Amino acid sequence: MKTIHVAKADMLKRTARFTELRSSSRAFIDSKIPGHEREIFNVIGRGVTEDTTLNPAITDARDFNLTYIRAEPGKGAALHAHTTVEVFVALSGEWAIYWGDDGEQEIILQQWDTVSVPPGVMRGFRNAGKESGLLMAILGGTDAGHVSWTPKVLDQARATGLKLDDHGNLIQ
């Protein structure tokens, strides 16, 4: 393979500084349901974010999307599924990854532990630690599609005033 030369200015466009990332606390339909509050940082690509205003720091998302999630103890994402693989890496703290139609299965990730959840599996996560924690999520594919939520989550979200449009984007 012939190597490609990239100018520093071009490489800086492909660099995301954590201190400069913008987050959304309303990135998904479950974000106002008690227990599912969290911050989403789109680092590479839009991933499956339902907030159309949350742009990624690095837009070139060839073959994968990368997101950081910050949550307080006990907080995280409700049950949902994706059409692609989703990989979780605990960056700090402890994280419960749960799955199954009712979230009946669960494992705990310690810092730097990694799990790969297959496409189509209902999954969720929560900060199982005692302090604010960071979790990294990597979604396969250039276009990761949209989230599939359980009917229960959609009903709970409607009660908070949130719903999705026909394209799967959040209406607040």
- Give the pLDDT confidence of 49-106 residue by residue, as tens digits: 999 999 999 999 999 999 999 999 999 999 999 999 999 999 999 999 999 999 999 9
Residue 86 near residue 138, CB atoms below 8 Å: yes
What is the domain count for the chain?
A: 1
Neighbours of 52 (CB within 10 A): 11
pLDDT of residue 77: 98
Q: What percent of the chain has pLDDT over 90?
A: 92
pLDDT score of 172: 73
Model confidence at 10: pLDDT above 80:
yes
Q: Is the pTM of this model over 0.85?
A: yes
pLDDT at 143: 87
Residues spanned by the domain of 77 = 19-161
Mean pLDDT of 26-43: 96
Residue 37 lies in a domain: yes
pLDDT at position 158 is: 93
Mean pLDDT of the chain: 95
CB 58 within 8 A of CB 43: yes
Count each helix (H run) and each strand (E run) in the chain, helices first.
2, 12
In a domain, 8, yes or no: no
* Inside any domain, residue 93: yes
In this predicted structure, the answer to whether residue 142 has a pLDDT above a threshold of 90 is no
- Domain membership of residue 47 (yes or no) is yes
CA–CA separation, 1 and 18 (whole Å): 32
**4 lies in a domain?**
no
